[in-house]
Amino acid sequence: MSESTYATASRGTPLATIGGALGIAGCFIGLIVLFASCAGLNAAFLLSPLPVILGAIGMVMVVVGGVTQKHARIEDTGVLAGIFLTLLSILGGLLEMSVLLGWALLPGTLVK
């Protein structure tokens, strides 16, 4: 009776969940940078690489966790939401980095 024959669930948090959390954190940091820059704090754009980094790390974790950790019972919609959030974090961070680095987004536009 002391030995069990059934499989126990792992206690660790799945990689896809951690990657999605990094995507959410990147989106929130991007929003904070946006609101701070709207308030006139242009130095907030120095934090713009952070959402890109969090989103890229989160994207890798979501994809790897979704593919390799099928036993963790992660729903496909959760993995899709994690991919969407990390993609938003990357794109928002890149738009903020374009302001920081003076990239021209459209042809023929002048950067001051």
Query: What residue ranges do the domains of the chain occupy?
Result: 15-101
Q: Would the pTM count as exceeding 0.85?
A: no
pLDDT tens for 47-64 read 999 999 999 999 999 999
Q: Which residues of 46-82 are buried (b: 16+ CB within 10 A; e: fewer)?
A: ebbebbbebbbbbbebbbebbeebeebebeeebbebb
Q: What is the pLDDT of residue 61?
A: 94
Q: What is the pLDDT of residue 4?
A: 56
- Give the residues of the chain that fall short of pLDDT 70: 1-11, 110-112
Q: What is the pLDDT of residue 111?
A: 62
Phi, psi of 63 (to 5 degrees): -65, -45
Q: What is the pLDDT of residue 5?
A: 55
